[in-house]
Amino acid sequence: MTEAMMESQVMEVLDKLRPFLLRDGGDCELVDVEDGIVKLRLLGACGSCPSSTITLKAGIERALMEEIPGVVEVEQVF
């Protein structure tokens, strides 16, 4: 799968998750996909929330890895 295809699939999954982030005053932005590593920037309340690491790893990363073959990790960029 090309990185462009993977980016498109990542955006689809993020669009499904976005309402949950927005409800809590946050959001996320796709920065890059490289070698199966998805790089995201957490925005709004999510950027400064103490639980953001849990949201990123237990929520977003798990959903991306379940739905998209080839995603190996999600990293937060600032």
Domains of the chain, with CATH numbers? 3-76 (3.30.300.130)
Q: Give the pLDDT of residue 63.
A: 96
**Whose structure tokens read 């309402």?**
19
Mean pLDDT in residue range 10-30: 95
Backbone φ and ψ for 51, nearest 5 degrees, come out as: -90, 10
% pLDDT > 90, the chain: 74
CB burial of 45-58 (b: ≥16 within 10 Å; e: otherwise) equals ebeeeeebeebbee
Residue 68 is given by DSSP the state S
DSSP3 helix / strand / coil % (the chain, rounded to 5): 55, 25, 20
Q: Report residue 51's pLDDT band, with 50, 70 and 90 as the boundaries.
A: confident
pLDDT above 90 (res 29)? yes
